[in-house]
Amino acid sequence: MRTRSNGRIAVTHVICAVQGPDIGTNPVVASTTLSPPSAPCPDLCRCASIISGTIEPMNGMRGYRTLTMAVVVVITSAVLGGLFGGRVLAGQDNLSLHYESFTMALAAIEDSYVGEVDSEQLVYRAIGGMLQTLDPHSNFMDPRSYAQLRERQEGRYYGLGISINVIDGGIRVMNIFEGSPAFRRGLRRGDVIARIAGTDAMGITSDEAVQQLRGPKGSTVQISIQRLGYEGLIDLEVERDEIAIQTVQGSFMVDETTGYVRLQDFSETSSSELRSALAKLDDLGMERLLLDIRGNPGGPLDQAIRVSNEFLPKGDLIVYTRGRIQNSDQDYHARDDGDHIDVPLIVLVNRNSASASEIVSGAIQDHDRGLIVGETTFGKALVQSVYRVSQEAGLALTTARYYTPSGRMIQRPWDEVFDEYLTYSFRDQEPSEHAISERRFTDGGREVFGGGGVEPDHFIAGPIEGFDPAPFGRLLAARQEFATFAERFSADGDTRIQKRSEGRILVSQGFEIDDALVAEFRDQLKSRGLIIDEEAFVAEDAFIRAMMHYEIDLALFSVEEARRNLTASDPQAQFAITLFPEAERLLGVSRGAGAVAANQ
């Protein structure tokens, strides 16, 4: 992290994820600050702070609120002046004309529009519209979105440890963080929070629920939940606490020699989490590693560098950035020999692996350090500088591009309205056509290409947890049928909820999905109005059983238990394991290339 001062602008550089390909409704987290987005767009961005100010009302115009004008001033002068320095002074006359046009239009709307207007929202949306003419990743963040970004990057917050969403007017729990106060008190995904502090919660917004659920560390909140199989409400008192958001979501031995680590996200704690996970696996006898960064949307640049450095020798180039502003041209090298530079490595990626994930996979591939297996990654290689403006809002502006060690720029092109770009993850992948200008070579002379994500060394489709189901299987997943089915289960011996239940299915860790449970699942589908295609159902038997087991494990036991059991049937993971002999040979190539480089 570096902090610099440029006149009135103090800039602190980090890299962070801002937004991602998911375009649905995001759940929010009950915390003392607003939550990290559940599915952030793959963005890499430098964080910065801008000290904003106010201006006096213009002659002949109505005085605007300080907040609104401060935002306008920061966007039109502080950002442009701070980023482009003398170039802005040369065009000051044009800037003044543009600024006058904007403020006069805003004044006319405030004075004459037929209805009441919110000047703050007008300015926010105007800035957002301006940024959307640039690229898919430049965007404006209102105070709530900016708080979510900072919280996600810090990897911790104060609250209950749940994410929530409004469904059919009810506050539904979408996720529980393991070890959190909510987890300890027995809340479950699918629970509906019916009352908060004795007040009916039906019909309130998610933001209103967050305001009521959050509070200082150590304070308590009374909630009442509805749960399938329980008559009446379940009353709980939950103590608020610090919530650590773990980015390593499972580390275990697949077999006697193969370790597995799932890095689900990047935050300021990711490299330390990874080192701890690898140390545990070393103690268990790990001789080769399967690193899973599928679905990882990215995060801080320094964490991508440190994670890569774990597997690379001192001096290896990891990534470099090029841009227009001061200090945007940077080369980042491995500072020390990584602790696992001699471990055969396979990295699992998919279409939702983006940004920082692509830095890791690109560096591993370019240095022939390991095999990349799965799908072509998202293709996000733009760097944003995030500037904090007045009232805790933020501006993310693309200020640089990043390149892999071989010189690849992996940013995918985008269409004018970004539709094709943002829906990339929803489409099946097809073989890419490459321009010869995009061709580069790894240290060992293997051919690689830029222009559209990191292409795997071995392609195998797997958009849903490593599986590539037919339309019927994808429909079941999209309808959340597996997660809904898991709500009917309870863990044998779990006494966190004392109230008696009826009709729930008890299972213990290590349970199996037998034909009786599959029949129960069929009955659920019929009861929810789905017409079952028998031939398609039989064809998707392996996928259906795997996802049933996975969702029940997530609901009752732990993320690691769920991931461990899923990996045993995950087609991408199982295919990758068969490739370790090739990964071992590639490690020899990497060592040879490194020796040559060291002698030059």
Residues 551-565 pLDDT 10s: 999 999 999 999 999
| pLDDT for 9 | 34
Average pLDDT over residues 528-544: 97
Average pLDDT over residues 253-278: 97
Per the annotation, the verdict on 355 as an active-site residue is: yes
Instruction: Assess whether pLDDT exceeds 70 at residue 589.
Output: yes
Contacts with 163 (C-beta within 8 Å, 6 or more apart), sequence order? 27, 28, 29, 30, 35, 38, 173, 174, 175
Instruction: Assess whether pLDDT exceeds 70 at residue 78.
Output: no
The more confident residue out of 489 and 60 is: 489
| pLDDT for 13 | 35
473 near 541, Cβ under 8 Å?
A: no
Separation of alpha carbons 115 and 211, rounded Å: 29
Instruction: Assess whether pLDDT exceeds 70 at residue 59.
Output: no
Contacts with 120 (C-beta within 8 Å, 6 or more apart), sequence order? 65, 67, 68, 71, 391
Both tokens of residue 299?
A: 């995060």
Closest CA relative to residue 373, chosen from 571, 99, 131: 571
What CATH class does 156-244 carry?
A: mainly beta
Separation of alpha carbons 288 and 253, rounded Å: 10
| pLDDT for 31 | 35
| pLDDT for 399 | 92
349 near 373, Cβ under 8 Å?
A: yes
The more confident residue out of 80 and 198 is: 198
Q: Considering only 34-38, 71-75, 558-562, which range has the smallest mean pLDDT?
A: 34-38
Average pLDDT over residues 114-128: 91
**Alpha-carbon dihedral angle through residues 178, 183, 184, 188, given to the nearest 10 degrees:** -140
Fold match, 156-244 / 248-379+421-459: no
The CATH homologous superfamily to which domain 248-379+421-459 belongs is 2-enoyl-CoA Hydratase; Chain A, domain 1 (3.90.226.10)
Place of tokens 């980042």: 332
Separation of alpha carbons 84 and 79, rounded Å: 8
212 near 239, Cβ under 8 Å?
A: no
227 near 194, Cβ under 8 Å?
A: no
3-class SS shares of the chain: helix, strand, coil, % to 5: 35, 25, 40
| pLDDT for 238 | 96
CA atoms within 13 A on the CB side of 125: 7
User: Of 35, 77, 180, 355, which residue is the catalytic one?
Assistant: 355
Closest CA relative to residue 448, chosen from 383, 372, 386: 372
The share of the chain scoring above pLDDT 70, in percent, equals 83
The more confident residue out of 40 and 571 is: 571
Average pLDDT over residues 465-477: 97
CA distances (Å), origin 451, targets 407, 416, 434: 11, 17, 8
Give the pTM.
Answer: 0.84
User: Of 241, 366, 457, 553, which residue is the catalytic one?
Assistant: 366
Confidence of residue 91 (pLDDT cuts 50, 70, 90): low
Q: How high is the mean pLDDT of the chain?
A: 84
Do the bridges between strand 199-200 and strand 192-196 make them parallel or antiparallel, or are there none, so unpaired? antiparallel
The more confident residue out of 46 and 181 is: 181
| pLDDT for 252 | 98
Confidence of residue 55 (pLDDT cuts 50, 70, 90): very low
Separation of alpha carbons 292 and 590, rounded Å: 21
| pLDDT for 92 | 64
CA distances (Å), origin 255, targets 127, 286, 339, 542: 53, 9, 21, 21
| pLDDT for 45 | 43
Q: Which residues of 153-172 are buried (b: 16+ CB within 10 A; e: fewer)?
A: bebebbbbbbbbbbeeebbb
Q: Considering only 18-27, 165-174, 533-542, which range has the smallest mean pLDDT?
A: 18-27
The more confident residue out of 373 and 427 is: 373
Confidence of residue 483 (pLDDT cuts 50, 70, 90): very high
Closest CA relative to residue 323, chosen from 400, 393, 390, 376: 400
User: Residue 403: beta bridge partners?
Assistant: 320
Q: Which residues of 355-366 are buried (b: 16+ CB within 10 A; e: fewer)?
A: bbbbbbbbbbbb
Closest CA relative to residue 151, chosen from 35, 235, 249: 35
Instruction: Assess whether pLDDT exceeds 60 at residue 380.
Output: yes
Largest CA distance in the chain: 78
Separation of alpha carbons 366 and 370, rounded Å: 9
| pLDDT for 247 | 96
The share of the chain scoring above pLDDT 90, in percent, equals 67
Average pLDDT over residues 123-140: 91
Per the annotation, the verdict on 101 as an active-site residue is: no
User: Of 224, 241, 271, 380, which residue is the catalytic one?
Assistant: 380
Highest mean pLDDT among 239-253, 362-376, 416-430: 362-376
| pLDDT for 16 | 42
Per the annotation, the verdict on 380 as an active-site residue is: yes
Both tokens of residue 39?
A: 């599915």
* C-beta neighbour count of 567 within 10 angstroms: 21
Confidence of residue 376 (pLDDT cuts 50, 70, 90): very high
At how many degrees (to 10) do helices 66-73 and 119-131 cross? 20
Calculate the CA 285 to chain-centre distance: 31
Average pLDDT over residues 386-395: 83
| pLDDT for 155 | 63
Contacts with 189 (C-beta within 8 Å, 6 or more apart), sequence order? 173, 174, 175, 176, 483, 486, 487, 554, 555
Both tokens of residue 58?
A: 């213009």
Spans of all domains in the chain: 2-148, 156-244, 248-379+421-459, 471-569
Calculate the CA 74 to chain-centre distance: 29
